[in-house]
């Protein structure tokens, strides 16, 4: 029945490919088109302006600040999140005492695993609103309330320009760690126990075990985490929009590309917003391609 195979495959592919073209490919092309136009989003035909929106973008101070902030996020967010998540996952999976060669997590690891996952269950805007209270600059803030009771000066988290972005990065990390702890724990669970047993017999310490057994065998998982977190670093819109004062402030100290897009949309500057969107598209796709290319290596079979 070989001749019936192609219609069969085509029949299955038709719906998803159509959906993909209509809802992904075509809109992207449209975004590229709008980015070359001046358009206020009303029923007036867009006016062709060529690369004007892009040259405006390259001259815009806030665009470069946003790119810089996204760049900072791109480095710090995956690095710190993966480091913390690996540490916790290691403790939860193989950090405890081994009983007759059987590696186990530290005491209460099942409980911690659930607790770590909590932030992931909360919607992002709720987390932002939550941290508004945590960071609040006066006595009703969670941190500053305690500090002020102790007679100390409040820390102006979202107000001090040098503190604002780190405070936002901290929230992003807090929110992301749980998921990657679970992801890495699952990865570690699939590493054969006898490898650890052998390492232990050879007298390897916990640290040695982590770097020489766990990490190499988790490579693929870490790579996936890196790509996910990198893409998340290009977003960060919800947290910045709710948590930062004065639209990515103070004075643009926390703005990111997605927020700039939103601001351009707010000004009915759809062409410019699309140009920013196109820039974001290229940045994201470059990052994903680079990461996958650089980290490509043959998988270890076990």
Partner 1 sequence: MPESTHPTLLSRRELLRRAAAVGLLVSPAGALLSACATSGGDDDESPSGGGKKSEKNPFAVKEDAPLEVVIFNGGYTDKYAVEVHEPLYKKSFPKAEIKHQATPEIKTVLQPRFAGGNPPDFVNNSGSGSMDFGALVADGQLLDLTPLWDAPSVDDPDKKVRDTVVPGTVDVGSFNGKPYVLYYVSTVFGLWYSGKLFKDKGWTAPTDWDSFVKVLDAMKAAKITPYAYAGANAAYYQWNVILTHAAKIGGADVLKNIDNLEDGAWTNDAVKEAATMWSEVGAKYMDKSHEGLKHTDVQLQQNQYKVGFYPSGDWLENEQKKDAPADFEYQMVPIPSKSGGKMSAAAVRATAGEGYVVPAKAKNSAGGMEYMRLMLSLEGAKGFANLIKSPTVVVGGAEGVTFPPGVTSSQAALKAAGDDVVNIFFDGWYKDLDTEARAATNELMFGRIKADAFVQRIQKKADAIKKDSSVTKFKR
Query: Considering beta carbons, is residue 43 or 201 the nearer one to partner 1?
Result: 43
In this chain, which stretch among 22-30, 96-104, 194-202, 223-231 interacts with partner 1, using CB under 8 A? 22-30
Rounded to an integer, what distance in angstroms lies between the CA atom of residue 95 and that of residue 185? 11
Query: Considering beta carbons, is residue 85 or 273 the nearer one to partner 1?
Result: 273
At closest approach, how far in Å is the CB of 20 from partner 1?
Answer: 9
Tokens of 152: 């100390």
Could you say which of 92, 113, 280, 287 contacts partner 1 (CB under 8 A)? 280
Rounded to an integer, what distance in angstroms lies between the CA atom of residue 197 and that of residue 89? 18
Using CB under 8 A as the binding rule, the residues of this chain from 63 to 92 that contact partner 1 are none
Query: Considering beta carbons, is residue 27 or 108 the nearer one to partner 1?
Result: 27
Asked whether position 42 contacts partner 1 by CB under 8 A, the answer is yes
In this chain, which stretch among 30-38, 169-177, 187-195, 197-205 interacts with partner 1, using CB under 8 A? 30-38
Site track for partner 1 across 131-170, x = CB under 8 A: ----xxxx---------------x-xxxx-x---------
Upper half-sphere CA count for residue 179 (Cβ side, 13 Å): 19
Query: Considering beta carbons, is residue 85 or 165 the nearer one to partner 1?
Result: 165
Name the strand (E) or helix (H) holding 118: helix 109-121
Query: Considering beta carbons, is residue 148 or 195 the nearer one to partner 1?
Result: 148
- Angle, alpha carbons 105-102-215 (nearest 5°): 60
> Strand, helix or coil at 132?
helix
DSSP code, position 4:
G
Could you identify the residue written with the tokens 């710090």?
A: 76
CA 226 → CA 46, 176, 221, 286, distances in Å? 39, 12, 9, 14
Rounded to an integer, what distance in angstroms lies between the CA atom of residue 230 and that of residue 77? 8
Using CB under 8 A as the binding rule, the residues of this chain from 210 to 269 that contact partner 1 are 237-238, 241-242, 245-247, 249-252, 258, 261-263, 265-268
Residue from 171, 181, 174 nearest 243 by CA: 171
Using CB under 8 A as the binding rule, the residues of this chain from 182 to 211 that contact partner 1 are none
At closest approach, how far in Å is the CB of 225 from partner 1?
Answer: 23
Could you say which of 1, 15, 121, 123 contacts partner 1 (CB under 8 A)? 123
Rounded to an integer, what distance in angstroms lies between the CA atom of residue 23 and that of residue 106? 47
Tokens of 302: 């076990």
Burial status of residue 24 (CB atoms within 10 A of its CB: 0-12, 13-18, 19 or more): exposed
At closest approach, how far in Å is the CB of 244 from partner 1?
Answer: 9
Rounded to an integer, what distance in angstroms lies between the CA atom of residue 200 and that of residue 220? 24
Could you list the residues that contact partner 1 (CB under 8 A)?
A: 22-24, 26-28, 30-31, 34, 38-46, 49, 52, 56, 123, 125-126, 128-129, 135-138, 154, 156-159, 161, 237-238, 241-242, 245-247, 249-252, 258, 261-263, 265-268, 270, 273-274, 277, 280
């Amino acid at each position: 029945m070989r001749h019936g195979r192609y219609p069969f495959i085509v029949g299955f592919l038709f719906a998803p490919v159509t959906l993909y073209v209509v809802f992904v490919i075509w809109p992207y092309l449209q975004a590229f088109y709008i980015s070359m136009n001046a358009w206020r989003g009303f029923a007036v035909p867009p006016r062709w302006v060529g690369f004007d929106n892009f040259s405006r973008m390259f001259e815009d101070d806030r665009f470069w600040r946003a790119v810089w902030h996204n760049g900072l996020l791109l480095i710090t967010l995956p690095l710190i999140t993966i480091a913390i998540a690996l540490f916790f996952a290691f403790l939860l999976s193989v950090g405890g005492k081994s009983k007759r060669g059987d590696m186990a997590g530290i005491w209460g690891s099942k409980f911690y695993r659930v607790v770590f996952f909590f932030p992931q269950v909360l919607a992002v805007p709720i987390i932002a609103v939550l941290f508004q209270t945590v960071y609040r600059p006066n006595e009703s803030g969670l941190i500053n309330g305690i500090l002020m009771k102790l007679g100390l000066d409040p820390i102006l988290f979202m107000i001090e320009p040098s503190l604002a972005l780190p405070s936002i990065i901290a929230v992003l990390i807090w929110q992301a760690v749980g998921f990657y702890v679970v992801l890495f724990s699952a990865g570690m669970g699939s590493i054969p126990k006898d490898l650890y047993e052998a390492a232990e017999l050879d007298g390897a310490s916990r640290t040695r075990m982590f770097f020489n057994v766990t990490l190499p065998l988790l490579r693929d998982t870490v790579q996936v985490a890196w790509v996910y977190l990198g893409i998340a670093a290009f977003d960060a819109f919800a947290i910045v929009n709710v948590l930062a004062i004065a639209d990515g402030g103070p004075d643009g100290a926390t703005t990111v590309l997605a927020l700039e897009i939103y601001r351009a949309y707010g000004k009915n500057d759809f062409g410019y917003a699309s140009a920013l969107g196109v820039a974001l598209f290229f940045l994201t796709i470059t990052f994903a391609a680079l990461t996958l290319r650089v980290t490509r290596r043959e998988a270890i079979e076990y």
